[in-house]
């Protein structure tokens, strides 16, 4: 499935890896990053480039393919970014995709620290995604479908930007407070011990 903001060049089959991590190698040009496929654990852990991503604001399809060839990477499974961006008339700064491009958005939550991310549903599931905060493995939440650029509520998901929870609980001392709408729990410090908090409905 094409990504809305990135061209993708798959280098290896993602099914062979245990987890994945996005990485920006030193020396790579601006707008180019890689998805590392990680196998094994502990001393046996090994990683390699599974996919190379190009920011479509900075890279055309032709330029990205040329760079790949010049640096010895595969181009056979190159996938251009989906749709083309345009600014909605009368709405300053709002960027949307063409109206016929609907993208699946997947919510992932860290099993350890509760950090949440939203990513485009792809061949890399939440269960194989590493938390960018604490490096633990994440778990999948209910998928939502929304048009990229929409700031409202996705179908089947929590309201965007509020966290969608009734309470915030401290990941350190367990102290629970009422969730203040509009302020994500993971942006709230525990009033008791100063630790980080995560959302809950319990």
Convert the pLDDT of each residue in 135-190 to its tens digit: 777 776 644 333 333 333 333 444 333 346 788 888 888 888 887 776 777 777 87
Q: How confident is the model at residue 1 (pLDDT cuts 50, 70, 90)?
A: low
| Distances 151 to 36, 68, 111, 143, 146 between C-alpha atoms, Å | 30, 35, 26, 16, 9
CA–CA dist 31, 40 (Å, integer): 29
Residue 37 lies in a domain: yes
Residues 20 and 78 in one domain: yes
Domains in the chain, number = 3
Q: Tell me the Ramachandran region of residue 72: left when phi exceeds 0, alpha when psi lies from -120 to 50, beta otherwise.
A: left
Residues 147 and 113 in one domain: yes
Contact present, 29 and 70 (Cβ < 8 Å): no
State pLDDT tens for residues 81-100.
Answer: 886 443 333 333 333 333 33
Residue 1 lies in a domain: no
Strand stretches in 83-164, DSSP E: 85-87, 95-97, 103-110, 116-120, 138-140, 144-146
Residues 114 and 146 in one domain: yes
Residue 196 lies in a domain: yes
Residues 136 and 189 in one domain: no
CA–CA dist 139, 137 (Å, integer): 7
Residues 73 and 125 in one domain: no
Residue ending a domain, choose from 82, 102, 127? 82
Contact present, 198 and 134 (Cβ < 8 Å): no
Boundaries of domain holding 108: 84-160
């Amino acid at each position: 499935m094409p990504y809305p903001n990135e061209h993708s060049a798959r280098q290896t089959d993602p099914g062979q890896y245990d987890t994945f991590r996005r990485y920006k190698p030193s020396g790579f040009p601006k707008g180019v990053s890689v998805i590392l496929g990680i196998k094994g654990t502990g001393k046996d852990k090994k990683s390699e480039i599974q996919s190379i991503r190009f920011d479509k604001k900075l890279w055309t399809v032709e330029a990205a393919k040329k760079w790949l060839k010049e640096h010895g990477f595969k181009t056979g499974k190159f996938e251009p970014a989906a749709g083309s961006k345009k600014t909605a008339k009368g709405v300053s700064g709002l960027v949307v995709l063409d109206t016929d491009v609907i993208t699946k958005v997947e919510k992932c939550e860290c099993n350890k620290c509760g950090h949440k991310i939203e990513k485009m549903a792809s061949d890399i599931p939440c269960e194989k995604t590493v938390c960018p905060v604490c490096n633990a493995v994440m778990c999948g939440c209910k998928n939502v479908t929304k048009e990229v650029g929409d700031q409202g509520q996705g179908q089947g998901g929590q309201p965007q930007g509020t966290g969608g929870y009734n309470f915030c609980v401290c990941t350190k001392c367990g102290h629970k407070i009422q969730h203040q709408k509009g302020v994500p729990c993971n942006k709230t410090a525990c009033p008791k011990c100063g630790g980080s908090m995560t959302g809950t409905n319990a």
